[in-house]
Structure formats: structure tokens, C-alpha cells
A and B are shown apart, each in its own frame.
Chain A
Amino acid sequence: IAGITQAPTSQILAAGRRMTLRCTQDMRHNAMYWYRQDLGLGLRLIHYSNTAGTTGKGEVPDGYSVSRANTDDFPLTLASAVPSQTSVYFCASSVEAGPGNTIYFGEGSWLTVV
């Protein structure tokens, strides 16, 4: 069972470049999420999608965009990367969007912007 697959696993990116982090889940979960993890700050929600075709902004959405064309895929795009976007990015999903649903996480994508 694959669960949530993220790609790339790690990437070094020049500032100003565009980058898309890919996320695919095979659990047919309706809701998907992108978090970033920074030392001393825990995890913060960037964007979420309650169901295919809808997206919403989390705590720290600036500089990021997402799309949800189908149930399985939820890519995160950095239009013009900046060093402050150096972080570990986690894609996640839950069966439904309502609170209390367990959120399942991918293995993470380590991104360094130089």
C-alpha cells in the first residue's frame, strides 16, 4: 500500500525559479493538505482541498499555489522561490474534510532555496 507519494524527495533550487512539488495518494481520500515544517515552528498549513475541484488557504499561503484537478493529485507550486521557503514540505490527506478525521502524511519533500 503506497499511501501518499511525494516527489521529489529533496531538491536544491535557485531563488527565483519555479518549482512544483508533486503529491499523489491512492487511498481515495477526499481531503488533501500541504504543510511546511520548520525548526521551532512545528507544522503549518499552507493550502488544503476538501474535495476535488476546490482549494482553500491555510495559515501560510503566500508564495504558494495549489490545484486539485482530480481526487488523487494535489501539486504545490512555488511560482518564484525565495530562501524563506527553504523547508520540509508534507503532503497529507484524510478520508473526509470534517474535523476529527485522521490526517495521514507523506514522507516529505526537503526543499532548499539558495
Chain B
Amino acid sequence: QSVLTQPPSVSAAPGQKVTISCSGSSSNIGNNYVSWYQQLPGTAPKLLIYENNKRPSGIPDRFSGSKSGTSATLGITGLQTGDEAIYYCGTWDSSLSVSGSWLFGGGTKLIVL
């Protein structure tokens, strides 16, 4: 059971919009930046969103991030079949050990119907 809670799966049709939630607490999301990662089948994770809502160069603006309180959300518009992947949220947590610890959510599998 991850400290950061994500839905196991979400689905939507091509061209539609989907959101993926990531719920935490004040010791992690509530006081730290959130980043999001996309892992296509058989590949390494890839950074999609950093510092809650910023996109690295090369990431299309179909991907967006937001944070409110102790929750964060990844949004994907104009869904494409190539977006089928597992999406992970991540953030720092200051309570799990003396020096702090990096956390990932359990991952959400996006199914494009």
C-alpha cells in the first residue's frame, strides 16, 4: 500500500480527456512539489510534469498538472492510443525517515478504449 494513493486504472476513448489523482498528506504533497512520470510498456519511466505543473521541453501541452492541498492531478487531453501507459506521481516526504525520503504513488494504468 503506497503512501501516495492513485487509482489503479482509468480509461477513456481516443480524443477524450482523462484525469489521474494522487492523494497524500501534509508531510509529502502538502509541503513539497509533485512530479509525474509516464512508463510505456517495457521502457524506463519518463518525466512528464515537474514542480506541480511545469512541462519539460518536448512534452506536449496535452499533459497538465495541478496541486491543491494534499492532492495532485495529472490531466491528459486529446487522448491517443500511444498514451496507453502507467502513470506515477512522486514527491518528497519529510516524515518517513530522519533524512526524508522520496515517494512514488502506486501507479495508474491508462487504457485508451
**Real complex partners, A and B?**
no
